[in-house]
Copies of this chain bind each other. A is one copy, B any other.
Amino acid sequence: MYTICYTKSMNNYKITVQYNGKNYSGWQIQDGKDTIEGRLSIAIKAVTGKDIKVVGSGRTDAGVSAIAQVANFLLDADWDCQKLIKAINAHLPNDIAVLDVQLAEEDFNARFSAKTKTYNYYFYVSSERNPILDQFALQVKYAEIFNMQSACKYLIGTKDYKSFVARNSGKTDFTRTIYSAEINQVKDNLYVFEICGNGFLYNMVRIIMGTLISVGEGKITPIDIQNIIKSKDRTKAGKTVPAVGLMLKCVSYK
């Protein structure tokens, strides 16, 4: 006589999600608010019949979009990944879509396993509104792009970025590592600021962008970025630019 014992562990699905955040109160589920996490949970429940917790790589703020946000969820059912993409997408609104589903290792956690995040901020330079670009980019009336590009190098490194955090962040550790920061021309008067780091503080990318715009406008010089970081004083940095141009581009894992 013998007994066969086995434990069926939960399947851990890693999903890649793209969304236009314009009409949402950000990623995180909040009572009475329409959120990306909320919409995904509803769609996954509609497909699987289960109440599951979707773990995102991080929260994106109200109005912020994502080209490839990563999340994961545990499910005690076997689903073919390709079928799961189609099934979930059928229950999502047009401005949210699952691009990919993969079966991940048991211990994969979209938040804690994340190594780097890359954000893009799109802006265009024009004295007049450009209604087509306004859909996903910020208007900057005047900018010396070369100076903004020069300023980027001062952002790189492991530093205390307290100057670039919203005052109500609730954090006490402001040290992060920025691996790269650059501004590239996309097409004509459209540019993108791309920044990659091991993590970002609340509103950090938007405050950095506002500060780079001050450089572009000639209000401060590129090297002033160094002094602003050293000051650890939010009031020395530029404005928090609107969410419209901000997109989480990708999240990398080991």
Residues of A at the B interface (CB closer than 8 Å) are 18-20, 65, 67, 85, 89, 94-100, 126, 128-132, 134-136, 186-187, 247
Least CB distance from A244 to B in Å reads 12
Please tell me if the beta carbons of A132 and B18 are within 8 angstroms of each other in the complex.
yes
Least CB distance from A101 to B in Å reads 10
State A135–B188 Cα separation when bound (angstroms).
19
Please tell me if the beta carbons of A132 and B99 are within 8 angstroms of each other in the complex.
no
Known: A97-B130, A135-B135. 14 other contacts (CB 8 A): A18-B129, A18-B130, A19-B132, A20-B131, A20-B132, A20-B135, A65-B131, A65-B132, A94-B131, A94-B134, A95-B134, A96-B131, A99-B126, A132-B247
Name which residue of chain B comes closest to A135, CB basis. B135
Please tell me if the beta carbons of B65 and A128 are within 8 angstroms of each other in the complex.
no
Please tell me if the beta carbons of A89 and B187 are within 8 angstroms of each other in the complex.
no
In the complex with contacts A135-B136, A186-B187, A97-B128 CB distance below 8 A: yes
In the complex with contacts A186-B187, A187-B186, A136-B132 CB distance below 8 A: yes
State A194–B18 Cα separation when bound (angstroms).
27
Least CB distance from A192 to B in Å reads 9
State A56–B39 Cα separation when bound (angstroms).
43
Please tell me if the beta carbons of A89 and B128 are within 8 angstroms of each other in the complex.
yes
For A95, what are the chain B residues with a Cβ–Cβ distance below 8 Å?
131, 134
Please tell me if the beta carbons of B129 and A97 are within 8 angstroms of each other in the complex.
yes
